[in-house]
Amino acid sequence: MLNNHNKKLIIANWKMHKLISTAEKFVTNFSKHEISNVCDIVLCPPATLLQLVNEKFLNSSIKVGAQDCSAFSAIEGAFTGDISAEMLSDIGCEYVIIGHSERRKYHQESNALIKNKIINAHQANLTAIICVGETLQQREEGSYKQVISSALADSLPSTSNITNIVIAYEPVWAIGTGRTATIEQIEEMHQFLSKETLSRFAFSPKIIYGGSVNLENAQAILDISNVSGLLVGGASLDPEIFHKIIKIAER
Ligand code: PGA
């Protein structure tokens, strides 16, 4: 079964940015724009702002996602500092980013741990946005496809289906660096990811691109076949810029 790739998915990853005051400013300004149903829009603020953002967009088509969830229980337990997938669902999240390269790097997250997180997300009916990508060294060594293939093999649980996972291809060397992958590189990797998931699960989920997406490159990236949307970091912090990226995706 093939996914309907026509409806683009545009996700804002705010990372560890914004306080209540600046988030309120964002939602107030962002809400001034008419947001149609042409694309699926997901805002992923830090956990402290999930409720605020969710409440603001309750009656709109904009969805809310978290940036991480606990690997240890889908529900609750003695895991200080963790937030469970059920808690995220309870607060109104429909999505959760899992396995972002910054979590892999700064929290030593392994594919095995990421797999547990995805299973927990699925138990709470969340769609897992699973990030995969190679480092510059892995790209230069030529092992990048192997790295991605192993990440999929070792982290995707059997609970995955066409609607409860989204794969985000995010080359580590393109994140926050201003250095975007070339059109050819993105096309090659999205085709590769599509084939890999198809052979592994007999379906191909939405595969979105992330890494220094901005107003200048969004259109060209969205035009690539097998690119179902964007995971936008830095450029999603400004409501005007993020809205313009959505408008580009709506074309
Ligand atoms: P960036 O971040 O757009 O700032 O490169 C993307 C991401 O890490 O999700």
Q: How confident is the model at residue 2 (pLDDT cuts 50, 70, 90)?
A: very low
Asked if residue 183 has pLDDT above 50, the reply is yes
Residues 220-229, mean pLDDT to the nearest whole number: 96
Mean pLDDT over 64-91 rounds to: 98
Whether residue 100 has pLDDT greater than 80: yes
**Mean pLDDT of the region 54-74:** 96
Shortest-distance Cα residue to atom 2 of ligand 1 = 233
Query: What distance lies between CA 40 and its chain's CA centroid?
Result: 12
In angstroms, how far is CA 61 from the centroid of its own chain?
17
Q: How far is the CA of 76 from the centre of ligand 1 (A)?
A: 30
Q: Residue ranges per domain, the chain?
A: 8-250
Closest ligand 1 atom, CA of 234? 4
Gap from CA of 235 to ligand 1 centroid (Å): 8
Average the pLDDT over 212-222 and give the result.
Answer: 97
- Residue 131 CA, closest ligand 1 atom number: 9
Output 85-90 pairs: Cβ under 8 A, ≥24 positions apart: 85/117, 85/120, 85/121, 85/123, 85/124, 85/126, 86/123, 86/124, 88/50, 88/124, 88/126, 89/124, 89/125, 89/126
For ligand 1, whether the C-beta of 13 sits within 6 Å is: yes
| Domain 8-250 belongs in CATH node 3.20.20.70 | yes
pLDDT band at 111 (very low <50, low <70, confident <90, very high): very high
Checking if the pLDDT of 4 tops 70, the result is no
Question: How many CA atoms lie within 13 Å of 14's alpha carbon, on the beta-carbon side?
Answer: 24
Helix H or strand E encompassing 168: strand 165-169
Mutate-to-test residue for ligand 1 from 231, 241, 242, 245, highest number of ligand atoms within 8 A of CB: 231
Tokens 């988030």, located at residue: 23
- Which of 172, 106, 101, 107 is closest to 130 using CA atoms? 101
Could you give the residue numbers annotated as active site?
Answer: 100, 170
Percentage of the chain with pLDDT > 70?
A: 98
Q: Is 232 in the pocket of ligand 1 (CB under 6 A)?
A: yes
Instruction: Give the closest residue to 113 by CA, choosing from 84, 154, 149.
Output: 154
Would you state the structure tokens that stand for residue 54, as one six-digit string?
A: 């969710």
Report CA-CA distances (Å) from 14 to 38, 60, 65, 81, 194: 22, 20, 11, 20, 27
Average pLDDT score over residue span 86-90 = 98
Which neighbouring-strand residues pair with 168? 131, 208
Residue listed under structure tokens 């990030």: 131
**CA 77–ligand 1 middle distance (angstroms):** 32
The mean pLDDT value of the chain amounts to 95
State residue 5's pLDDT score. Answer: 56
pLDDT digits 0-9 by tens, 146-174: 999 999 999 999 999 999 999 999 999 99
Binding site membership of 27 for ligand 1 (Cβ less than 6 Å): no
- Give the distance (Å) from ligand 1 centre to CA of residue 106: 15
Provide the token pair at 169: 């291809």
